[in-house]
Amino acid sequence: MPESAVQHHMTRRSGFPKALGILRSVLGRNRELVIELSRRELADRYIGSALGGGWAVLAPLLTMGVYVFLFGVVFPARFGVDGSPWLGAALVLAGLPPWLALVEVLTRAPGVFLANRSLVRQVVFPTEVLAARTVAATTVAWAVGSAVSVAIALLAHGFSPTMLLLPVLWALQLAAMLGLSLLLSPIGAWLRDTREVMAFVATIGLFLTPILFMPATLASLPKAAQLVIELNPVSHMIYAYRDALVLGRIEHPWSWAIFAATALVLLELGAIVFARAKQGIAEAL
């Protein structure tokens, strides 16, 4: 049996056939194209500014700095945080960089095909590369923010073995973000309002997660508010990051399971929707 036929047979028998096909494209044969296009997107995003691409590093550093100052210096006690003055900042920063990366994908993915009409209309161009590029372009700011959150966690309580689980969470989040990009990019080509809807979701979404709530504050919220936060899949991502980065123990095992399942389902769902919509994207533009 030819190698290509073997790979096709294995893909069909796997639990996530469409997702594996997308991953083989963006991480395999088209990997260099994804990297180059994401590099160009970052360069174009800051074109004309004095610092250029340096803003991709400076912007998350400034954002993290504000939260470190507020939650670690100005008023940590108001949020029910005892012990290290860095603990409040560490709890917030555990979830903030992942959230900001997720928001960037939510707000940019719906417009990616509209902004690259000429590429999409080329018959031989692998359009899934554009969805993957949206995710790849977020990794610079996300990496900077994650480095700051790790540093603040080390200041708060030192090293804990659960920090070694962070690469697992990063991999799951990349899968979730790629799934969202694959899902939203073709929808955005057909429904031009998708970008505005996602911008609204991003605006209110921060307050529907536990990112800005300390554990004591979260427990004091009305039951209805607690239920809304618990039903939000993003909340479980935040709980998992807090377990690994700050708490030093798996305090929310169900959140880890829910986050993993959500990420894998999103990746496969996005790949299925993308595969079905792919042929009609050029006509929609």
Q: Would you give per-residue pLDDT tens digits along the chain (285 residues)?
A: 444 444 444 444 556 778 888 889 889 888 999 999 888 888 787 776 766 677 778 888 888 888 777 766 666 545 445 556 678 788 889 999 999 999 999 999 998 988 888 787 776 788 899 999 999 999 989 999 999 999 989 988 889 999 999 999 999 999 999 999 999 999 988 888 888 999 899 889 888 999 888 777 788 888 998 999 999 999 999 999 999 999 999 999 999 999 999 999 999 999 999 988 877 776 665
- Give the residue from 110, 99, 81 showing the smallest Cα distance to 185: 110
- Per-position b or e across 236-261, b if 16+ CB within 10 A of its CB: bbbbbbbbbbbbbeeebeebbebbbe
The answer to whether 260 touches 279, Cβ cutoff 8 Å, is no
- CA 166, CA 145: separation in Å to the nearest integer? 13
The answer to whether 204 touches 227, Cβ cutoff 8 Å, is no
CA geometry: angle at 45 spanning 28 and 152, to 5°?
80
The answer to whether 186 touches 278, Cβ cutoff 8 Å, is yes
Region for 226 from its dihedrals, namely left if φ exceeds 0, alpha if ψ lies in -120 to 50, beta otherwise: alpha
Distances from the Cα of 205 to the Cαs of 199, 202, 209, in angstroms?
A: 10, 5, 7
Distances from the Cα of 259 to the Cαs of 113, 168, 196, 199, 283, in angstroms?
A: 28, 11, 26, 23, 36
The model's pTM: 0.87
